[in-house]
Structure formats: C-alpha cells, structure tokens
A = this chain, B = another copy of it.
Amino acid sequence: MSLVVVGSVAYDGIQTPHGRVERTLGGSCTYAAVAASFFTQVGIVAVVGEDFAQEDAVWLASRGVDLEGLERVAGKTFYWSGVYSADMNERTTLCTDLNVFADFQPQLPPAYRRAPYLLLGNIQPGLQRQVRAQMEGVRLVCGDTMNYWITHTREELLETLKEWDVLLINDSEARQLAGRHNLREAARRILGLGPTVLVVKRGEYGAVLFHARGYFVAPGYPLEQVFDPTGAGDCFAGGFLGYLAECGAESGLGELRRAMIYGSVMGSFCCERFGVDRFRKLTRAEIDGRFQEFKDFTEIR
C-alpha cells in the first residue's frame, strides 16, 4: 500500500449536452483512486450502502484498488445528480442525497496506516484531521477542501491545514481562503498556513503550483470534446499524487512539475466519457503519450 485515498464513493446522475446517465459510479474518492491506480498501489477509505453494486467493487479491485477500507453499512450509497449547461461551464445540482455518507467516520485498516502517501478528499476538516492522526510515519499529505468548509469551519480547517504538505484546491477556493483576489498574493498567504506546496486548479485553463521558491504553470489540455467534466479535478489529484507515489521521491521540483502534468493528463481523460468510463480501457501508454503531447505543446524552443 503506497497511497491512501479518503473521500466519497457515490452514484451520480449526470446530464450533459452529449447525453445522460441515471446512475454511474462516482465520488471524489473513486475518481482520485482510479486515476492514481495507473501509477501506484492505492487503498481507499470510504463508505457505501447496501445498494453498492458488486460489479463496481469488482472493477475497482481489478484496477488494483484495495477495498479493505471501504465500509459497507445499512442504508443507501451517497447519490448526487446534476445537469451541465450547453457550454459545460455551469453545473446545476439537482439532488444531493448524502445517505450513508452523512455519518461517515473514516477508519483506517491497520494495513493502511504505514502508507507513505495520503490524499484527503473534500470532507469535513475534523474528519480529515482524524484520518491524518491515524497515519504512522506518512511522508506526504495532500488535501482538498471547498467553499463550504472555508466559510463554516474556518478555524478547524486552518488547524487541519497545518499538518498538510500539499493543499490542492480550485482558484475561487484559494482566493476565498486567502481573502485575496490576486493568485500570487493568495498563494503567498496560503503557503504561510502550513502546506509547503499549493496547487490551484483552474478547470479548462489548467493548474498552477506554488512553493516557497517559485511556481509552475500547467495549461489545460485542449480536448477535442468535453463529454462530461464530472470528477476531472479529483482525477487531477489522483494523477498528481499517484505519480509522486510512483516516484517514491521526496517532492523535488522536477517530480512536482511532472506530477502536475500527469494530474492534467488524468483530468483530461476523465472528461472524454461519462463518469469513470474512460478509465475502463485506458492504458499507461496512452497516459504517457498525452504526457509527451503536453511537453510538445508547451515547449519554448
């Protein structure tokens, strides 16, 4: 076990201009773990209900994802549904049924506790902290959060952040957390809160990595077609941390740059089909091919 991923496993109903699915495997933990599974040995910590399909468990296991930390309890699995606007830039949530996720108390199996890498999906900061505390000798902790926690549990979030190496959030969240609109100013403030690395996701425009000595900008991949952007940010996180775990390295700047690109690559593949469908037949050769494309279309000769 190299990387532990904590977050939601859910079923999603998704409607985009390209079609709709009533119920497909989703959730932040699922997306991140599946993306990371192309790079390293992943274990997940999440909760599902009695309706969780055996075929989904089988597929995750076939990807090498360890399910010992996937708790099954009475009730229904987290269900979310939403609809995207014609240009895909707006998303309206139609329904959020937390179901068994409402009482999620993440418990790490003993086999997970000595994993060197931890990815904390966007859950209540107090729970993220409890998970962090269960780890023994973790080498790199990367966490996500969202507007809701920044607004409503700010103090708890700030305490939690102190124990993270990498904060990975989107641009509006970074601005809200720092209280600054300018991204470099916001980054400087956030790097004073604990994390030594800040990754700011900017959707189709890519992502920026900030650290004490500088920054790195990864553009978005110009997709031929954005079929369904659900989960792309979580796949970015999974690709990013999965690659670092594969390197096994301390986070040197070269590795961090490549991790940003692998994150972008996995986020871009995610958008090509509904839910996690693109990952069912994806190969490492395709991943490395797209990594090379990134090198080609960003290189200043």
Query: Which residues of A are interface residues toward B (Cβ below 8 A)?
Result: 86-88, 181-185, 202, 205-206, 208, 214-220, 222-226, 253-254, 257-258, 261, 294-301
Chain B residues, Cβ within 8 Å of A215: 222, 297
In the complex formed, the residue of B with least CB distance to A86 is B181
Judging by beta carbons under 8 Å apart, are B224 and A185 in contact? yes
Judging by beta carbons under 8 Å apart, are A182 and B226 in contact? yes
Query: Which of A208, A223, A258, A297 has its CB near the most chain B CB atoms (within 10 A)?
Result: A297
Measured between alpha carbons, how far is A206 from B204 in the docked complex, in Å? 12
Least Cβ distance of A245 to chain B in Å? 19
Chain B residues, Cβ within 8 Å of A261: 300
Least Cβ distance of A212 to chain B in Å? 14
Query: Which of A87, A214, A301 has its CB near the most chain B CB atoms (within 10 A)?
Result: A301
Query: Which of A88, A183, A258 has its CB near the most chain B CB atoms (within 10 A)?
Result: A183
Chain B residues, Cβ within 8 Å of A253: 301
Measured between alpha carbons, how far is A222 from B219 in the docked complex, in Å? 13
In the complex formed, the residue of B with least CB distance to A260 is B300
Chain B residues, Cβ within 8 Å of A257: 299-301
Measured between alpha carbons, how far is A82 from B82 in the docked complex, in Å? 38
Decide yes or no: A184 and B297 within 8 Å by CB, A205-B202, A206-B219, A217-B219 being known contacts. Answer: no
Decide yes or no: A87 and B181 within 8 Å by CB, A205-B202, A297-B215, A300-B295 being known contacts. Answer: yes
Judging by beta carbons under 8 Å apart, are B254 and A301 in contact? yes
In the complex formed, the residue of B with least CB distance to A175 is B87
Judging by beta carbons under 8 Å apart, are B258 and A222 in contact? no
Partner of A258, one of B202, B223, B300: B300
Least Cβ distance of A71 to chain B in Å? 39
Measured between alpha carbons, how far is A220 from B220 in the docked complex, in Å? 12
